A and B are shown apart, each in its own frame.
Chain A
Amino acid sequence: MTQTAARGAARHLADSRLFLPAVALGLILLFDLVFVPGFFSIEVKDGHLYGSLIDILRNSAPTVILAIGMTLVIATGGIDLSVGAVMAISASVACILIDPRIIGVSLSGNINAVVGDPGYSFVPMPVVILVPLAVAALCGLWNGMLVAVGRIQPMVATLVLMIAGRGIAQLITNSIKIIIFNDTFAFLGNGFLIVPFSLFVVAGLFTATWLLTRRTALGLFIESVGVSSRSSLFSGINERRVKLFAYAFCGFCAGVAGLVAVSSIRTSDANQIGLYTELDAILAVVIGGTLMSGGRFSLLGSVLGGLIIQATTTSMYAVGVAASAITAVKAVVVIMVILLYSQQTQDAIRSLGRRYLGREAA
């Protein structure tokens, strides 16, 4: 009896969308277990946890945050290429709010005070956080307008901001790298509360998004619009508003990711922050089992996807692959994902599983 129940549960698990990402993550960790000694050791220093696993979690934070927003956009049948550029904009805005000297604002006290005072910020910290997020959400809303109202193809529509965004970010900081001395702001990306603080940001954002999409009708509407926006319109769903929200929310997430990224490197580098991260975010969503064509989405899957990408990178560094070759390894991962998720492979896995699991049942 229990065996049958277990088999049923196993079959349910195998049919779940999270099955493949979980297996993939398991395989990568297995690889580390065999080839990287000490990969799983976690040390406690000053009440903080350290170790490769913690590194994976911490370094994946920006990608995971982006992927959460990207999931909703992709679920509506769209795509947002501009998230990397929006990260840079959000980072630049935050930096200029902390230290606006380069736009000709004279700070109270002399420069030494700024450099020497880890508590100094030109505007209060809540403003430093909220204004960039609002700007990022507006950037997303702009994308949403082009897609939902302008009826421009999402890839083209968001390409506009992808290209222009980095330029805007440079304009904001006058192409100068502003160094951040403020410790409170740096806590966002560098701080520890036993585990890195950015993990709390990820957890909070994930929970909020999950509640928003699964405890209201939003998730249903997004999936419906993604499957057929015309049928959704005919069912009384305001598909434009759903799309506008998805893009604005994705922009907001990019804003959060930008803040985390800039606070961890403590420099507003508009050329580097978030560079190519849009591709990681899209990849994370796809690995997570959400189809590029839209419809059903899985937030947890996207989080797993982000972790898989970071785990691959970290593992490659650990076994000594050169940094310059990492992208090639990533490409291999992409190919494997495509193969693994193809209908043929899935059918093969299913029939294998059915043969194995179904033998006794028959």
Chain B
Amino acid sequence: MEDQHRDIVVMEGIDKSFPGVHALQHVDFSVRSGEVHALVGENGAGKSTLIKVLTGVERPDQGTITLSGQRAVIRSPLHAQQLGISTVYQEVNLCPNLTVAENLLIGRAPTKWGRLDWKATNARAREMLRDLDLDIDVTRVLGSYSVAIQQMTAIARALTVTSAKVLILDEPTSSLTAHETAELLRVMRKLRGDGLAIIFITHFLDQVYEVADRVTVLRNGALVGTFDPAQMPRIELVRQMLGRSLTTLDTIAEQKATTTRQIKDEVFLEATGLGLGGSIEPFDLVLHPGEVVGLAGLLGSGRTEIAQLLFGVDHPDSGSLRIDGAEVDDFSPTASIGRGVALCPEDRKAEGIVGDLTIRENIVLAMQAHRGLFRYLTKSRQYEIADRYIKLLNIATPSPDQAVKNLSGGNQQKVILARWLATDPRLLILDEPTRGIDVGTKADIQKLVLDLAAEGRTCVFISSELEEVMRTSHRIVVLRDHHKVTELDGDIDEREIMHAMAGGER
């Protein structure tokens, strides 16, 4: 009796199919008040669908949902909110051009004589944030704050729109720095202490072990089980998520060792004093065929800026860039493709995928752009190329005619990789290729990078996860505050990189 009362949400036998995909197969899931319940699984495991069912975005084909002991049919996201289920999505759904206070109280701001009472609004907003131990200027526009603060604003809003009993956090930490993540986890612990039930979706197992009371694993739309993290060794959890054991990581290390010997002495690309005011200070960089060069640095340290300069999205205002010994003077993505340079951009949604187009069209896009208008690839040729890369990269889709926006993040990333591999690049720049991607796909991408190096191609690998950069890169360039600080190779020590990233003076 007592136990049942504590279960705020009980989902039983949830089944959901989409055309071509059985997204959820008879899944049971429950959350208690005062717990953080982590939901983990590979991309396409069914986490998002389960959440969509709970928040009324999708109706289940079968199964029941019980809220605080009563059967409930959740008709819409608004209805879910009224029932006390609040959600904060990965991308912050607020208005960056309004102030923090306006964002928090929009539509329900206190009024006085029929007019908005700004004083009360701001005071109320400050109070709401103070509940999360956050003390900031609420009259500044939201966009001027870091993503972490924006996310906490979203949480504060989610908690107070209605009196929330359940808070769903959908991959809230994937674009946060380590420090910001710690801050968010602190807020989660505090809310748990207040008796809230928190569903926490994440790809970061560290965070699961740090904050979760229980963890539920989904795989291919089916429930693997709900576990107590304290009783569950990490390697076992990964094995449950993948359904196979992880030997890829060992092969990656081996592969890196063998490819090191194959790096050629000749120079593919040479940047001398290349820079762009306000974006990246002048830097020197030499890239050889067959090597993987990692760019390490905190978010905003200039990693992406270097990538965009090399790819020609931005035009440098100082220095020179030579590729194959020839001076580059036309900076544009189109020209870069011609030179054999490719970039998988950091912002997959806005700069990578073309959501409404099919997988096939997305894959052939860069190749076609290079061929120009009139050498149009025939449909059969397009299918041939798409099928080849779908197989090669293991893209999970029923058909190459699926719209890319319907794929999970990891598979979208693979489509973009396929787009560039189809152009047969000599330099592939990967900017955060594994962000928001499950463990299995991560290892696949790391392995792919080393495979490409073994073929004599050059890769530039950018990632916020230092471990990953170290695992794949032969040489690491460290950046700080828009400066190239140092370059490390040979046996690289993690502490050495972190020191360089953080700066000696502190």
Asked if residues A227 and B357 are in contact (CB atoms below 8 Å), the reply is yes
Closest chain A residue to B370 by CB distance?
A236
User: Inside 8 A of B361's CB, which chain A residues have their CB?
Assistant: 220, 223-224
If the complex has contacts A224-B361, A227-B354, A295-B356, are A234 and B343 also in contact, measured as CB distance less than 8 A? yes
Sorted from nearest, which 6 A-B pairs have the closest CB atoms? A236-B369, A236-B337, A227-B356, A236-B333, A235-B365, A217-B376
Verify if B345 is at the interface (C-beta below 8 Å from A): yes
Asked if residues A236 and B336 are in contact (CB atoms below 8 Å), the reply is yes
Known: A221-B369, A227-B354, A238-B334. 9 other contacts (CB 8 A): A216-B376, A218-B373, A224-B365, A227-B356, A228-B353, A231-B352, A232-B365, A236-B366, A295-B357
Which residues in B have some Cβ–Cβ distance to A below 8 Å?
311, 313, 332-334, 336-337, 343, 345, 350-357, 361, 365-366, 368-374, 376-377, 419
Verify if A355 is at the interface (C-beta below 8 Å from B): no
User: Inside 8 A of B353's CB, which chain A residues have their CB?
Assistant: 228, 231
**Distance of B331 from chain A, by nearest CB (Å):** 13
* Whole-angstrom CA separation of A24 from B207 in the bound complex: 55
- CB contact between A224 and one of B343, B354, B376 (< 8 Å): that residue: B354
* Whole-angstrom CA separation of A218 from B376 in the bound complex: 9
User: Inside 8 A of B371's CB, which chain A residues have their CB?
Assistant: 217
* Whole-angstrom CA separation of A234 from B350 in the bound complex: 10
**Distance of B386 from chain A, by nearest CB (Å):** 13
Verify if A215 is at the interface (C-beta below 8 Å from B): yes
User: Inside 8 A of B350's CB, which chain A residues have their CB?
Assistant: 228, 230-231
- CB contact between B355 and one of A228, A234, A238 (< 8 Å): that residue: A228
**Distance of A220 from chain B, by nearest CB (Å):** 6
* Whole-angstrom CA separation of A238 from B313 in the bound complex: 11
User: Inside 8 A of B368's CB, which chain A residues have their CB?
Assistant: 217, 220-221
If the complex has contacts A217-B368, A217-B371, are A237 and B334 also in contact, measured as CB distance less than 8 A? yes
- CB contact between B351 and one of A215, A216, A230, A237 (< 8 Å): that residue: A230
In A43-80, the 8 Å CB interface with B consists of none
User: Inside 8 A of A227's CB, which chain B residues have their CB?
Assistant: 354-357
* Whole-angstrom CA separation of A228 from B357 in the bound complex: 10
User: Inside 8 A of B332's CB, which chain A residues have their CB?
Assistant: 238
Q: What are some 19 contacts across the A-B interface (CB < 8 A)?
A: A215-B376, A217-B368, A217-B369, A217-B377, A220-B361, A223-B357, A228-B350, A228-B353, A231-B351, A233-B333, A234-B313, A234-B345, A234-B351, A236-B334, A236-B366, A236-B369, A237-B334, A237-B369, A295-B357
* Whole-angstrom CA separation of A238 from B356 in the bound complex: 19
If the complex has contacts A228-B350, A234-B345, are A216 and B374 also in contact, measured as CB distance less than 8 A? yes
* Whole-angstrom CA separation of A233 from B377 in the bound complex: 20
Verify if A243 is at the interface (C-beta below 8 Å from B): no
**Distance of A266 from chain B, by nearest CB (Å):** 39
Q: Mark A202-223, 1 if CB is under 8 A from B, else 0.
A: 0000000000000111101101
* Whole-angstrom CA separation of A216 from B419 in the bound complex: 19
- CB contact between B365 and one of A215, A220, A230, A295 (< 8 Å): that residue: A220
Which residue, of A215, A231, A232, has the highest number of chain B Cβ atoms within 10 A?
A231
